[in-house]
Amino acid sequence: MKVINNHIYNFGTNGTFYKRAVPSGYVNVSGLGWRWIENEQLFTGFRHYQGSYYWFQNGVRQNNQWETAWGHRYYVGADGRAVQGIVTIDGVKHNFGTNGTFYEREMPKKAAKPYYYSQWDKHWANTWLSGGSFGATGCVPTSAAMVLKGTYGINVTPRQVGNQVSHFHESYGASGLDLKTMINAYGHSIQSLGTPNAVKSALQQGKPVIFFVNVGIGHAVVGYGYNQGNTEIFDPYNHQFHSGWNSVDGILSKLSKDPQDWDAGTPAFAIN
């Protein structure tokens, strides 16, 4: 490969010396080194290579700089890869998403801290809910109400949240699908988190997470915040089973075994 009068030519390497077609892609050009070539030209733009996207300028891979394409801004790091997730650049945090699109977008807004409610509050503890008194069975609507009021500013009580379900999927308490009905009724959604990393990522983004944990029976609690592998737990059962900061891995090791708690996916739900 040679550059003659700013054009690239390929004369082969097998001792035949004649000019032939110029290969495309990452090519080692004599005197220049590795370059990205397309249509016998040094290429400028993004190209996918070995599982990542790289930006080339006149065939040269670019590092540590901003690039613009398709109406969006991107950033390529020290290894030339287009970055993903929340990345600090020159002391400022930027959000490039985690869905494989790579472009810069608004930073996610951190949700506010849940408001603490007890399912044993005298205002609703002795009312009826799915198989027993609200004080005994109301952990799911109480957890949902904590998030809806504290995080999303909806002035709602646990009793009001429980009233959103006309037919419960569980004979005693509420299931994952019941939680979905409750949250959807107020214009929000639940997202089942299938892996420990997904749970930790949601908490790191400031999203509240409702866990269905095993305390002899299934029991719902709220996790919020993330600090060195721990999250703050809001236990609606007067903090009897969990209080303060707890290991996320520890909570995940105690997820409920009740099949009803799995009917909307893994029983750890980000509330969006």
- For the cut 90, the answer to whether the pLDDT of residue 266 exceeds it is yes
Give the tens place of pLDDT for each residue, 23-45. Answer: 999 988 888 888 999 988 899 99
Residue 5 has, within 13 A of its CA and on its CB side, a CA count of: 0
- For the cut 90, the answer to whether the pLDDT of residue 99 exceeds it is no
Share of the chain above pLDDT 90, in %: 85
Instruction: Name 95's bridge partners.
Output: 86, 105
CA distance 122 to 142: 13
Encoded tokens for 101: 């699109």
Beta strands in 59-198 (DSSP E): 60-61, 65-69, 72-76, 86-89, 92-95, 128-129, 132-133, 190-192
Which residues neighbour 136 within 8 Å (Cβ) at sequence distance 6 or greater? 119
Verdict on whether the full-model pTM lies above 0.85: no
What rounded mean pLDDT belongs to the chain?
A: 93
- Do the beta carbons of residue 246 and residue 233 sit within 8 Å? yes
- For the cut 90, the answer to whether the pLDDT of residue 111 exceeds it is no
CA dihedral sign, ordered 117, 235, 195, 102: positive
Give the tens place of pLDDT for each residue, 57-75. Answer: 999 999 999 999 999 999 9
Domains of the chain: 2-95 (2.10.270.10), 128-271 (3.90.70.10)
Give the tens place of pLDDT for each residue, 129-169. Answer: 999 999 999 999 999 999 999 999 999 999 999 999 999 99
